[in-house]
Amino acid sequence: MNNAEFESERHFQMWKYSVGHAQLLLRSVRSDGHPTRIDVLFVGVRRLDLPTSFDGLRVERVGGRFRLDGRDWAGSVEALNMAYAEDEGEYFDPSPFAEGSGI
């Protein structure tokens, strides 16, 4: 049984962390092989243990935290919630979550 809230084999980077809003944005940018951009947003972040750049991302809620893993790595984010969006935004375009979020 797959309890993942989000799963992708793409390359992701820790894109932005906003201290004032306690938000973390992970991003997979568009490329020749991937015509879309994926943003994964965590809100109410209290703690994080992640590499800054990684291949593959699987997010599973476990109690008050999110367990994250991918190819040859594992980590976690203690946060209130998470959401993701996939669009055709360019590298420097604002996140779909940007309006009013502090990201």
Mean per-residue pLDDT, 63-77: 96
Give 1's pLDDT tier (boundaries 50, 70, 90): very low
* Per-residue pLDDT, 38: 98
Domain ranges of the chain: 6-87
Query: 54 and 73 in contact (C-beta within 8 Å)?
Result: yes
The 10s digit of each residue's pLDDT in 41-69 is 999 999 999 999 999 999 999 988 999 99
Label residues 27-58 b or e (16+ Cβ within 10 Å = b): bbbbeeeeeebbbbbbbebeebebeeebebbb
Query: 80 and 44 in contact (C-beta within 8 Å)?
Result: yes
User: pLDDT > 90: what percent of the chain?
Assistant: 81
Residue in 88, 79, 81 with CA at minimum distance from that of residue 35: 88
The 10s digit of each residue's pLDDT in 20-29 is 899 999 999 9
Query: 85 and 91 in contact (C-beta within 8 Å)?
Result: no
8 has pLDDT over 80: yes
Tell me the pTM: 0.92
* Per-residue pLDDT, 64: 85
